[in-house]
Chain A
């Protein structure tokens, strides 16, 4: 860490020296230089810091592997024959001995020897790294100062480096996404080795308890995901029935009727709804809405579960109103004023204009907003964990308790779990299904959005 700081300080010095050098060779006539003095300064700084930092990163990846490989060769023969996890444990002890910490296992003379070797090799490696990095950094400064000349295209070099940095930033997020997808995919494949895909996709019964001992009473577990997806769809449908009309109608009001003053206040206020933490919605649903619905149901003789789909879906609907209203509002206001004028000029009322001209013209954008809201509803977790039930009922009765895919993923993974049982692996399969579903919705939304763009460009 301190080495990185030193490199950065050297880069700062290089920046200063590069700046001064470029001014000196220009002799006060900056226009004679190919690039601005700032570019030469950055050129020097990048040359000083770039290779040195790259070496530090490379070293921190490679040197532990080399150290481990070399040390294992020094271990007693019986220790070398250990299996993977046990060897890992032993190597941790070796590292602790090298740092002078008490080992967790028995310290044999062979182990102590290995620890001493590990320590000395580590020190040597660090020393070598320091030396190389300092040589690279100082050498970079020296070369930069030598190369700086009026016709050096410092600006082009610096901008190329900047471009690669931007590319790296973009690649990181893409690689992370790919990493998540593949890890979920591989774990799901492990699950499907134990439970057939057809059982998972078409099974009507969800009860993920597997017996721990052979003589244990209990099932072998059944992993039919249909009840979960029905529950998810039920709650999402209820949420969209709440958010769709309210969001769309409020967008119509904001876009077509509201005065600019009201609009400037109301729109941010509505968008605050999207900023409320979902856990707050969760206890609002569980502690306020659900009991209210149950009592109201009792009053008119209906049997409402205290964790009803209606409560969870209704509150979720409130949460996603801003998605619908904000995107619909954008789509409505993007309809050219000429359309409004044309319709009004023919003697149409405001309402007729909205219904027959503006909404049809904005429909692709509105649909895209709806689809984004749906994928948000399907993936929403906190509200349903708190307000929906845990039992996998296969029902479409909004007054009954249902469970959702996300709730089951949470319950499967909460607490101490072994990570190779069908029960925990099922969470990955569910996650994969969920991911595929929302991905398809997002792709459809993007496709619709793009079509919409072509229309008004």
Chain B
């Protein structure tokens, strides 16, 4: 089992982007985000080995793969959250609407306003529910006056499907909500700054099944207004919420395609083995 995996890895290491490129040959619409030959090092250790991937607008793209395969690292490249990590070095090209996000002229602060992020563990600020959602709009000066801010907060909470549950206690601390509510609060906080892309790093891994179902429904609604990239360990979740799925292994992109196709008829044997639970 172990040996077989290693063999497959070596075989694929010969030319990993080939499979990925083949998958891109579909109807030609300009992708929302695109990455070409993205390589990343943490100090001396290389974590990504040339990732070529297009992320299409108004779709949910799921990134799957075993732990340590680089899918979270890749996700954090898309809004440059890796910048804060000491000794992290990136090569390659990442574009948002054709603009290179690592270009000197791009302000990382504005980039992150356009490419928002929801984290693995719900991380509301130790502030009130209202202030949690209003945090981003205040920083970016999106509201003129209290009425407009109230409107943004209400719309964001409605967008995250949390409004009905918290409308009567907007000034209670956000940390007092349940885990699932906290995660939806974090989603509300992310959509309050009206980003174009929302990155989700295993958003349901700390939630119970019912809260997970809530968030999954939400993701499906959100993709009509936003472009979504979601990292998940849960194969069923990837199949349920995403339109496209990309399979990562050992820092390489093994296969990408329509979710139905990847799950029912994968091109690569490794993908087949991973989604059927033979390793990972």
Contacts and interface: CB of A to CB of B under 8 A. Distances in A.
Interface of A: 259-260, 336, 338-349, 352, 356-357, 360-361, 455
Given A341-B81, A352-B139, A347 B109 contact: yes
Interface size bracket, B side:
20 to 34
A343 B119 contact: no
B119 A341 contact: yes
B86 A342 contact: no
A332 B119 CA distance: 21
Interface stretch (B164-172, B186-194, B218-226): B186-194
A347 B110 contact: yes
A336 to B, nearest CB: 7
Interface stretch (B8-16, B97-105, B121-129, B207-215): B121-129
B136 interface: yes
B84 A344 contact: yes
Interface of B: 79, 81, 84, 86, 109-113, 116-117, 119, 121, 123-127, 135-136, 139-140, 186, 189-190, 193
Contacts of B111: 347
Contacts of B126: 339, 360-361, 455
Contacts, number: 66
Given A341-B119, A357-B125, A360-B126, A347 B86 contact: no
Given A260-B86, A344-B84, A349 B125 contact: no
Contact of B123 (A341, A347, A348): A341
A339 B122 CA distance: 10
B193 A347 contact: yes
24 contacts: A259-B86, A260-B86, A338-B119, A338-B123, A340-B84, A341-B119, A342-B123, A342-B125, A344-B112, A345-B79, A345-B81, A345-B112, A345-B117, A345-B190, A346-B116, A346-B135, A346-B136, A346-B190, A347-B110, A347-B113, A347-B193, A349-B109, A356-B139, A360-B127
Given A260-B86, A336-B123, A338-B121, A344 B81 contact: yes
Nearest to B122: A338
Given A339-B126, A344-B81, A346-B190, 19 more contacts: A338-B119, A340-B84, A341-B117, A342-B123, A342-B125, A343-B125, A343-B135, A345-B81, A345-B112, A345-B117, A345-B119, A346-B135, A347-B110, A347-B136, A347-B140, A347-B193, A360-B127, A361-B125, A361-B126
A360 B135 CA distance: 14
Given A345-B116, A347-B193, A339 B125 contact: yes
B231 to A, nearest CB: 14
Given A338-B121, A352-B139, A361-B126, A346 B112 contact: yes
* Leading 3 A-B pairs by shortest Cβ distance: A347-B113, A338-B123, A345-B117
Which of A259, A339, A348, A455 counts the most chain B CB atoms within 10 A?
A348
Contacts of A347: 109-113, 116, 136, 139-140, 193
A357 B117 CA distance: 17
Contacts of B186: 342
Contacts of B79: 345
A346 B123 CA distance: 12
A148 B89 CA distance: 68
B152 to A, nearest CB: 13
Contact of A346 (B84, B86, B121, B189): B189
Contacts of A349: 109
Nearest to B117: A345
Nearest to A346: B136
B229 to A, nearest CB: 13
Contacts of B109: 347-349
